[in-house]
Amino acid sequence: DADVTQTPRNRITKTGKRIMLECSQTKGHDRMYWYRQDPGLGLRLIYYSFDVKDINKGEISDGYSVSRQAQAKFSLSLESAIPNQTALYFCATSDLLSTDTQYFGPGTRLTVL
Amino acid sequence: AQTVTQSQPEMSVQEAETVTLSCTYDTSESDYYLFWYKQPPSRQMILVIRQEAYKQQNATENRFSVNFQKAAKSFSLKISDSQLGDAAMYFCAYNYGQNFVFGPGTRLSVLP
C-alpha cells in the first residue's frame, strides 16, 4: 500500500462548486503539505501543517482552505471553484526529525469547467 | 525570496549516453538542502537525489550524480547510461526550514 494516498485521483467540476481533496498517510509523519502544479511553474505551496493544531498559509492560499482532521489526514477545500484552479494537486509529508525531505502522494487532477 | 531556475524546458538524450540538467537558485542562507525530483507520466513525484549544502562532497545515487557549486549557487544533475525509464519531468527544489521552492521543471526525452 502507498504511504501517501490522495482521493480522488481525477475530478471534473463546474465553476462555483465546493470541492474537497483528501490526503491520508501511513508514514507517521507530523508535517503535511498541499501543492499545486501548473505547466511551466513547477509546484507551489498552498498550505502546510506541522501538527493537528497548526495550520500555515503558503505562497498561494487565496481561494483555498484546509483541515487537519488527524495526524494522518489533511484535506484541501475549494469553497467556490473557478477555472484557474484547474491544476494537478499534490499532498506531501515530512518527518519532524528529517524535515528536509518530502514524500508525495500520487496527485489529483482537478478540472474546473 | 528564494527562487529556483531551470533554464532548459526540454532536453533529449540518446539511450546509454550521459545528460546534464541545469539548476540555479538564489538564497542568502548558508545551510540548506537541494533536491532533484523525477515525475514520470504516472505523475508520481519521486526523490532522485538530495544534497546538504554544508557538505562539499557531491551526492551520488547509482547512475545519478550532482555537481554542487555553492558559491555559484548551481546544482546540476548528471544522468549516466541513460535508460528509457529515465524519460520524465525533472524538478530541482530548494529547502530551508519550511520554505520549499521548486523550479519549473525540465522535460527529458530518451531516444532509443
Which residue did the predictor score with more confidence, A76 or A41?
A76
Amino acid at B108: L
| Average confidence (pLDDT) over B68-91 | 97
Cβ neighbours of residue A85 under 8 Å, at least 6 residues apart? A36, A63, A78, A110, A112
State residue A61's pLDDT score: 95
**Which grid cell is A108?**
489529483
Mean pLDDT of chain A: 93
Pick from A42, A88, A103: which is nearest to B102 by CB? Answer: A42
Residues of B with CB under 8 A from a CB of A: 4, 9, 33, 35, 37, 42-45, 47, 50, 52, 91, 93, 95, 97-98, 100, 102-105
User: CB-side exposure of B65: number of CA atoms within 13 Å?
Assistant: 9
pLDDT tens, position by position, B11-56: 999 999 999 999 999 999 988 999 999 999 999 999 999 999 998 8
- Per-residue pLDDT for A56 more than 60? yes
**CA A66 – CA B62 distance, rounded (Å):** 39
State residue A101's pLDDT score: 84
pLDDT tens, position by position, A82-107: 999 999 999 999 987 766 788 999 99
Q: Which residues of B touch A104 (CB under 8 A)?
A: 37, 44-45
